[in-house]
Structure 1
Amino acid sequence: MLILLQQTTAARELKFVIVLFRHGDRTPIINFPTDLHKESEWPQGFGQLTKTGMQQLFELGQYMRKRYSSFLNSTYNRQEFYIQSTDYDRTIMSAQSYLSGLFPPTSSQIWNPELLWQPIPVHIFQKTTEQRLNFPLPNCPRFDELQQETQTSKEFQNRIQPYMDFLQTMAVNTGLELNHLKTLDNFQLWNTYDTLHCEGIHNYSLPEWATEDVINKMEKLAELSLFSLFGVYKTEEKSRLQGGVLVNIILNSIKQAVNSSKPRKMEVYSAHDTTVGALQIALNIFNGKLPPYAACQFFELYQESNGQVSSHLFKK
């Protein structure tokens, strides 16, 4: 999907790129009381990147190597490229897998002829201080108020009421409390859907009640969980407090690239589905679906032949 923030027919030169992606395929974050499987059944435990996830981000890196072959140097240059990640194993490892596809060493950067890989620094935001990528951002009393208002708002209730009987059945099947399942912003239903989704992908047995219809309804509720977290009710104000913070950071990076004599060529963020969702809702481009593994949002800055600049936004 390509969205033009400013369109022009004049010749232009790409000057700067910002990339935000979700980590790759991972194991479940948590199990639910009646789950058939325990954390010990997953090779590295919960919340960890899988080999499939590594491959997904490696291929994303390869895609970007081809897309920006005439813009980004084939050799890694720390002055031109910078990557940051949240402080989670899966996002750090996703960033590393992505880099192995984007910057395979060539010529003088080959340090081991039998290993076409090179170490590239991934800068980490600490969980206690991270205020860019780990959404929803904490310690915001007004956002907490808005979330409480959202749960009782007419907009939210109209969306969740058709699922009340289903939620009662889910409470029985999962062993979770109904009141917790109905409060979508506490992630319990979303995490339960995610656990079943992960188990299904990796051919783990599912409980008998987890039919295709049940999984589909849980997916719809998980999508509503994400949307209600950053939207549904007073979306504009929520976005100023959440996804808008990241939009502002991105805009400041673009302004810096415009005004700098030697700007970076690319900045990359390795993050989560909530990061992508918060950003897209703030930009009013959210399609209502959960961002899949390795979902990627691009921001491109161009200089036109007349000296003006334009920004292009698209997702993959």
Structure 2
Amino acid sequence: MKHKRLEILENVKHNMSLDLFRMPFPNKALHCYVLMSIWILLLVAGIYKFLETKQSSPEPILANELFHNLAIDVKTKRIFKICNFPDDITAGDEGIIRSNKWTLKGLIILLRHGDRGPLQYVRNISAVNCGGSPSENLNSYKKYLQNLTSFEKISWSTPGSFHGFPLLPIHPSQCQLGQLTMQGVHQHLNLGGIIRKSYLDVWPKLKNLSHNDIMVYSTRYRRTFQSALAFLKNFLPHETLTKIPISESQSMNFCFKDCGCPATEKLTKVVMKWLNHQLKSHPAVAILSESTGRSLFSPGAEQGRLGSDPQSVRDALLTYICHGSSLPCETPFNCIKRQNVAGIFAYTDWLNHQKWKDPYWRRLCLLRSYGLIRHIVQQMLHIVSSSGPFFVLYSGHDHTIEQLTTTMGIQNDPLLLRFAARIVFEVYQENRDTPNNEATGVYFRVLSNGKDVTRQIMFCKNVLALENKVVLCRIEDIVRFLHDDYFSSLNVSNFKDAC
């Protein structure tokens, strides 16, 4: 039956074609003109109907359905991992050395601040809820802080650079420019509790650390200070928290006495030129970044400059992605779509990996991180000499972590610089199997967001392999690197000549 119908249709079609060609030429042309006119009218009517439906939408925002697809897509799911949601923070390989042959002497931790508001003005910012989800951990912290002070505005009362700093975000549900969010506070509360649990059984000293055993440094930003405080609240005994002196680092690099370096300005210009060249070599990315920036940044917020920088676009996108908000639109018909986000993040991840291999970028990191590495080595030596402090915390930024890990040779990871990221140095002492339990060699291991990366450190040449693929690096190696080999790639022997 089906074949018979097809045969009939073919015959009809053939006969119509013959009839059309049998028509006189003027009639045939008129016939084609009429058919084309009808087709154009139908097409216009369809477009008009489509536009009419679009214009009836009350608000020019991207549909939530498109936004949620971002999390489902295999290629874009990892973007959400950069947000590092509080409930996604889990224990890593910290504190897994459990042997009588080794004594954990102390810890040095470098943190990135938690979730924050955008660094630039973006569209519909008032509609984004940065308050985060309520939790018992967060509510307990709020009550704890309220009991610490009688002030209506909860602030740090200890003398020093941070005296009068608010202990919590001033507007809990709002996304303030560059300020820590309640979600960021929650991240570090969870992280502090997880890290404490990881070390409680293997480092008995943690149970009774006094304020004299602790050294804390933070850059002079509310977001780093409040992040450090939230972390310490769940990491240390509660009675210790208010007695801790928190020292200010005047540089995001924690360079201490080794900050002035004119060569870094020249290297920064070289690196920026290289970044611009990479963007020009990818014109499709440049167009994508500019168009996304127009929909993303508020009018008057230097859209042209910001839109031409994919890193700025990426950072601003996280404001919406990390708080479950719909992505903004420049017009009702020009919204940021899933593929825009995926393209920007794919390019910036690739660029960061390429940058990690660039010799000028590595030199820049070498100079900027010298003061911090020098300070870390000093603290390691204080720890093993039993003079203390035994716990050192640096609360900094993504640049701080990126420059330090690049200098040490730790491989670039797109998730390395997530909110509330952590770099942990564990300092160990070997115990000889003698009646006096005489101490001998001193070692350390490094963990990046819970992953052991000691093998990647370029100056750890002869690592000591333990069970379960755990390795330790001799403190002698990092001391030798700092004093003998640090500036060898620059053909100089000291920081002053390098700068």
TM-score by length of 2: 0.51
Q: Which residue of 2 aligns with 1:85?
A: 218
Candidates 11, 14, 20, aligned match of 2:101: 11
Q: Assess, with a 3 A threshold, how the Cα gap between structure 1 residues 271 and 21 changes in structure 2: closer, same or farther.
A: same
Shift of 1:161: 4.6
How far apart, CA to CA, are the structure 2 residues paired with 1:89 and 1:244?
Answer: 25
CA contact (8 A) 1:85 1:122 kept: no
How far apart, CA to CA, are the structure 1 residues paired with 2:412 and 2:351?
Answer: 14
CA contact (8 A) 1:95 1:270 kept: yes
Q: Which residue of 1 aligns with 2:242?
A: 119
Shift of 1:217: 2.5
Shift of 1:226: 5.5
How far apart, CA to CA, are the structure 1 residues paired with 2:387 and 2:305?
Answer: 55
Shift of 1:280: 0.9
Shift of 1:31: 2.1
Q: Assess, with a 3 A threshold, how the Cα gap between structure 1 residues 299 and 56 changes in structure 2: closer, same or farther.
A: same
Shift of 1:158: 7.4
- Bigger Cα Rg: 2
The one-letter code matched in structure 2 to 1:100 is: K
CA contact (8 A) 1:36 1:207 kept: yes
- 1:96-121 residue CA offsets vs partner (Å, 9 max, x unmatched): 1111111253xxx4xxxxxxx95353
Shift of 1:272: 0.9
1:16 alignment partner, SS class: strand
Q: Assess, with a 3 A threshold, how the Cα gap between structure 1 residues 228 and 86 changes in structure 2: closer, same or farther.
A: farther
Shift of 1:63: 1.3
Q: Which residue of 2 aligns with 1:252?
A: 378
The one-letter code matched in structure 1 to 2:229 is: Q
Shift of 1:238: 1.7
Shift of 1:197: 1.2
The one-letter code matched in structure 2 to 1:94 is: S
Whether 1:25 and 2:115 are equivalent positions in the alignment is yes
- 1:18-57 residue CA offsets vs partner (Å, 9 max, x unmatched): 000111111112125xx34369986262112222111110
The one-letter code matched in structure 2 to 1:27 is: G
Q: Percent identity?
A: 22
Between Structure 1 and Structure 2, which shows a larger proportion of helix residues? 2
Over aligned residue pairs, what C-alpha RMSD do you find?
Answer: 3.4
List gaps (5 residues or longer) in structure 1.
110-116, 183-187
Q: Which residue of 2 aligns with 1:241?
A: 367
- 1:146-186 residue CA offsets vs partner (Å, 9 max, x unmatched): 22223445xx577545532221343244245667665xxxx
2:244 alignment partner, SS class: coil
CA contact (8 A) 2:307 2:313 kept: no
The one-letter code matched in structure 2 to 1:146 is: L
How far apart, CA to CA, are the structure 1 residues paired with 2:260 and 2:356?
Answer: 15
The one-letter code matched in structure 1 to 2:409 is: N
The one-letter code matched in structure 1 to 2:119 is: I
Candidates 303, 308, 312, aligned match of 2:429: 303
The one-letter code matched in structure 2 to 1:65 is: R
The one-letter code matched in structure 2 to 1:214 is: N
How far apart, CA to CA, are the structure 2 residues paired with 1:190 and 1:157?
Answer: 12
CA contact (8 A) 2:288 2:340 kept: no
Q: Assess, with a 3 A threshold, how the Cα gap between structure 1 residues 169 and 131 changes in structure 2: closer, same or farther.
A: closer
The one-letter code matched in structure 2 to 1:296 is: R
- 1:276-309 residue CA offsets vs partner (Å, 9 max, x unmatched): 1111111111324251111100111111124111
How far apart, CA to CA, are the structure 2 residues paired with 1:62 and 1:196?
Answer: 29
Alignment of 1:53-202 (within 5 A): 53-70=184-201, 71=203, 72-105=205-238, 109=239, 119-121=242-244, 123-125=246-248, 129-130=250-251, 132-133=253-254, 140-153=261-274, 159-175=278-294, 188-202=309-323
Alignment of 1:268-279 (within 5 A): 268-279=393-404
CA contact (8 A) 2:253 2:368 kept: no
How far apart, CA to CA, are the structure 2 residues paired with 1:201 and 1:88?
Answer: 21
TM-score by length of 1: 0.77
Matched residue count: 288
- 1:245-297 residue CA offsets vs partner (Å, 9 max, x unmatched): 32222112112323x34222210111111111111111111324251111100
Q: Which residue of 2 aligns with 1:113?
A: none
Relative contact order, higher structure (CA 8 A, sep 6+): 1
Shift of 1:236: 4.0
Whether 1:37 and 2:125 are equivalent positions in the alignment is yes
